[in-house]
Amino acid sequence: MPGPRGNASGAAAGAVTAGRGRLAGLLMGLALASGAARAEVVLSGPEGMRYSMTRLAPLVSARTGIELRIIADEERIPLSKVAQGTIPFALLCRDLSDAESSGVQTHLLGYDGIAVIVNGRNPVTGLTAEQVTDVYAQRLASWHDAGGADKPIVRAVRDSRVLPPIAARRLPALPSPTAPDTHVVIDDLPAVLFVAVDPYAIGYVGVAEATRLILEGAPVRTIAIDGALPTPAHLRSGAYPIAWPVRLVSARRLSEAERSLQAFLLSPEGRRALAEAGVLAAEDQGP
């Protein structure tokens, strides 16, 4: 039977072996991370998703080591290129027909939408979709006609080209930048800031960005459209009218890096990254 010295020697040897195993594992992990960092995957999507895709890219890189090369296009994404593998991945803001789905893989990642915002001091809490259309078509010019003060409606507008096609259809053609009480903003944050300082302003921004900035104290609020606020439940159910699905469409044959990206985006961690980028998860995610 070994004595205390033998036990100590054995324990030391075991510790060294375990340490070597951990070191080998660490080196392997670093090697994999280094190799993954050199992997580049193309992610295509409509121009209206550029902001979310650009925010998603560094999150994916930090968590998987995969570099996303973003291609945003105003034209309809050619699914034939996805089916052929020329473009491995595309984000679509619409449903696919059976014919379109036949040659590709499709996964519902989540939902996106446009929140209509007003100044926090504005008593108007909701509009109908028709009223929103009338506001931007300049047929509804006073808040009095929407249940508010007898003051002109001041519109903050964005170039319609940044909107996904479904949103562009549901929001009307925007008024000219030179139209009375109309101001052009270039992004979500300037729109929120504009509405925050003008009690009679109205604007529209991404739902996720509106939610985040309101939680951080921005003195604006979202309003209901046709009785539905842009809540997660209403976006998922379709009750909120200015919302759309976000689908990941991929080729059936993928490289190892592409399969890794697909697995990440479909995982709970990936859904959290998508939420940070502005895409509401298709279903509630656990901690």
pLDDT at 167: 64
Q: What is the pLDDT of residue 97?
A: 84
Taking the mean position of all CA atoms in its chain, how far away is CA 107?
15
Say yes or no to pLDDT of 19 above 50. Answer: no
- Least confident segment among 2-6, 176-180, 226-230: 2-6
Average pLDDT over residues 116-138: 92
Binned at pLDDT 50, 70 and 90, residue 105 comes out as very high
CB 125 within 8 A of CB 224: yes
Structural contact between residues 203 and 165, judged by C-beta atoms closer than 8 angstroms: no
Give the lowest-confidence range in 36-50, 208-222, 228-242. 36-50
What is the Cα–Cα distance from 158 to 186, expressed in whole angstroms?
6
The whole-number pLDDT of residue 203 equals 93
Name the band, by pLDDT with cuts 50, 70 and 90, for residue 26. Answer: very low
CA-CA-CA-CA dihedral for 164, 168, 171, 173, to nearest 10? 150
Question: How large is the average pLDDT for residues 224-237?
Answer: 94
Give the chain's domains with CATH numbers: 37-111+245-281 (3.40.190.10), 113-237 (3.40.190.10)
pTM of the model: 0.74
Residue-averaged pLDDT of the chain = 81
pLDDT at 21 over 60: no
Quickly state the pLDDT bin for 31 (edges 50, 70, 90). very low
**What is the structure's pLDDT at 151?**
96
pLDDT tens track for 38-74 = 588 988 888 778 888 889 999 999 999 999 999 887 4
Provide the percentage of residues in the chain whose pLDDT is more than 70: 77
* pLDDT of amino acid 193: 94
Cα dihedral across residues 130, 225, 163, 46: positive or negative: negative
Alpha-carbon gap, residue 51 to 73, rounded angstroms: 12
Calpha distance 81→146 (Å, rounded): 47
Secondary structure E strands in the chain:
40-46, 67-73, 89-92, 105-119, 126-127, 154-157, 182-184, 201-206, 220-222, 224-225, 243-250, 280-281
What is the percent of the chain with per-residue pLDDT over 90, rounded to a whole number?
Answer: 40
pLDDT, tens digit (0-9, with 9 covering 90-100), for 134-174: 898 888 999 999 999 999 999 998 765 556 656 666 665 56
Q: What pLDDT score was predicted for residue 80?
A: 80
Q: Judge whether residue 217 has pLDDT over 90.
A: yes
Mean pLDDT of 260-271: 93
